[in-house]
Structure 1
Amino acid sequence: MMGVRLNEDALPPDDEASFARVGAVNDEMKAQGVWVFGGGLLPSDSATVVRVANGSTTMTDGPFAETKEQLGGFWVIDVDDLDAALAWAEKAAEACEVPIEVRPFDGLA
């Protein structure tokens, strides 16, 4: 999975050039057959955190942890190895102009 790491307090304005760059990377992933799915996320203040402890469930608004970087979107890709994933992450980081975190899945369900 490639996670888009961004600072919600310093988001660039939505512009056609940014959407076009990301769209081009998406199209290239699909053409190369590595695309599984992906998407952008609403801001972290739209999140609800669900916790279960000692048989009791609580639900709170907003992110679980205070941090400057939030998960702003993601791609799930199917590639042969970490080097291939990092090559795609480099393209994604250039297109998004923000850091991309790459994490392998712990098996597939």
Structure 2
Amino acid sequence: EDSFVRAPWAGRPMLWHIYQQEDDAHLPKLDAFLTLYLAGLSPAVAQALNQFWQRWNVGGDLGECWAALAEHWPQIERHAEHWCQQQAAQTDLATALVQFYVSSL
């Protein structure tokens, strides 16, 4: 899932086609990510993105989903840029581990 890790760094709207697993084990992972990614969006924009990602990964007609995305595209673009900035502002894992180690001494 290397591309999934890199995609948000572009600061552009993205779509994750999650690797399918037996017994639909991938769907809770998709739902967990969407819970984080959609937080803070208006209900209409969050619903449009969620519906599109779900249908893309599960199957179904995307016609209505495309229309909803187009309607909210400016907000989706701003959100993608904001998400990228939020991720960049976090402490990297190596630094966080060192800080944790030092604080536990």
Does TM-score exceed 0.5, indicating one fold? no
Larger relative contact order (C-alpha < 8 A, sep ≥ 6)?
1
Judging by fraction of residues, say which structure has more helix: 2
TM-score by length of 2: 0.29
